[in-house]
Amino acid sequence: MTPSPDRSDHQEIFVARQPIYDREMGLVGYELLYRHANVDYAHIEDAELASSAVISGSFLQIGIDTLVGSALAFVNVPRRFIVDPSLAPFFEGQVVVEILEDVEPDAEVIAGLKRLKALGHKISLDDFEYRPGCEPLLQLADYIKLDVLRHSPDQLREQLDWLRDYDAALVAEKVETQGLHALCMDMGFDYFQGFFYCRPKTVCHRAIGANQAVVLRLLQQLQDPEVDLREVERVLAQDVGLAYRLLRYVNSAAFARRREIESLREALVLVGLDRVRDWVSLILMGRMATGKPTELMLAGMVRAYMCEWLAKRYWPDIQGQMFVVGLFSIIDALLDGDMMTLLDDLCLSIPIKLALLDGEGPQGELLGQVIAYQQGDWDRIGECAIPGEAYVEAYVEALKWTDDAMQLLERRG
C-alpha cells in the first residue's frame, strides 16, 4: 500500500505515552516515549545533546497539557540533562525525572539530582538493576521501576523484599497482559506500567450484561451498510439519552453552527450519516466501558481519530471506514471477549472485520501502524511510507480531539 504524498525532510519528534496505574487502576501518570523521527539525527555523535533537544522540543512544540493533561509525566533523561542546570526540565512538580540504567551515579550526577529535587521534581530509576555504588540513587528515588519481563517471579520477589527498605514506590514495568498484572498485584507492586489494559481478561466465558446486549444491538443496526437515514433516526429516537448527546454534539463548537439544531432528522442531514454513526458508536462504546479504566476508551478514541486523519490524507478510499476500525479494535478488551465472536454480532463490512481480526488489507495495515505508534514501536513506523511528521501531527491532533470529545461525553445536563 503506497500513500500519495512524498516523505518530508522536516525533522520531527516521535512522542507517545504509556500509562502508569495504581493498585485501584487510578491513573498516576504517563511515561513519555520519544525518539527523533529522523533516525540519522538520533544517532549523531553527541547523542545526549540530541536527547536533550528532543525532550525540550516535545514540551515546547506539543505542550505538556496536550501530552498528559494534569497527570505526572515520567521523562527519561540522559546524564547531561541531570548535571547541566541550563538543561533542566520544565514544569516543576509535574515532570518526574527518570534516570536511565546506564547513568553512573558519580558525584556530579548525585549533586544534579539533589538540585532537581530541590526544584520540585521527583526522581524515578528506570529498569533498575542492582550494581555497586547505587545506594545514593536509591536514597534519592521516589519511584523504582523493575522490568517484569526480564526477571523470574522469584527474582522479582527477592528484589521487592529489600527495595521496600527504601522510601520509594515500586513500579512494575512492561506489564503487557492481564495475567502479568494480576501476578504483579499479588507481589505487592505499588504501580503498574504497560498496555495490559488493552488486552481482554482471560475468561472461559463471560456473559454479556443486559445493558451491553442492548448496546450491541444498537451498534449492529447502526453499522449495517444497508441502513438508511430514516432507520438511524428511528434507532436514535428510541434512546432519549443517545439522542440528547448527539444533539449536544452537533451543536458544539466543533461544527460552529449559526443556529441551534433541534431535531434528529436535521442533525442527520447536516452532519451526515457516516459522522453520526461514528459519534453514536463512540457514545455506545463508552456505555460498555463500565468497570474499565478510562485510559482504554481514551486509547480507542485516539486510535480511531489517528486512523481517520491519516486515511483522509494518504488513503482517501478507506477514510470512511477507519474511524470504526480504530474504535472497534478495543471492543475485545472492553467486553473481555473473543474478537471473532464479538464481530459475528456486528454488521461490519468484510474488509473491516478482516482488518480487526487479522490485520489484513489497507485498513489492517494502517491500523497496525497506528497501534505501533501508540505503543512506541518506532522501528515499525520507520518502515512505513507515511512521513514521520504525519504520525506526530495525527497523534497530537488525536489527543486534542479526544480531550474535547471526552468533555462532551462526560458533561451532564
pLDDT for 240: 76
pLDDT for 394: 96
pLDDT for 307: 97
- Asked if residues 104 and 128 have their Cβ atoms less than 8 Å apart, the reply is no
Helices (H), 141-209: 153-163, 178-187
User: Domain spanning 13-198: which CATH class is it, in words?
Assistant: alpha beta
pLDDT for 6: 41
Quickly name the fold that domain 210-410 has. Answer: Hypothetical protein af1432 (1.10.3210)
Q: What is the CA radius of gyration of the chain?
A: 23
| Nearest alpha carbon to residue 80 among 58, 100, 59 | 100
pLDDT for 269: 83
Alpha-carbon distance of 271 to 72, in angstroms, equals 37
pLDDT for 203: 46
Domain residues of the chain, as ranges? 13-198, 210-410
Taking 70 as the pLDDT cut, the residues of the chain under it are: 1-12, 36-60, 88-92, 201-214, 216, 253-258, 411-413
Side-chain half-sphere CA neighbours of 169 within 13 A:
18
pLDDT for 413: 41
H/E element, 96:
strand 95-99
Burial of 403 (0-12, 13-18, 19+ CB in 10 A): middle
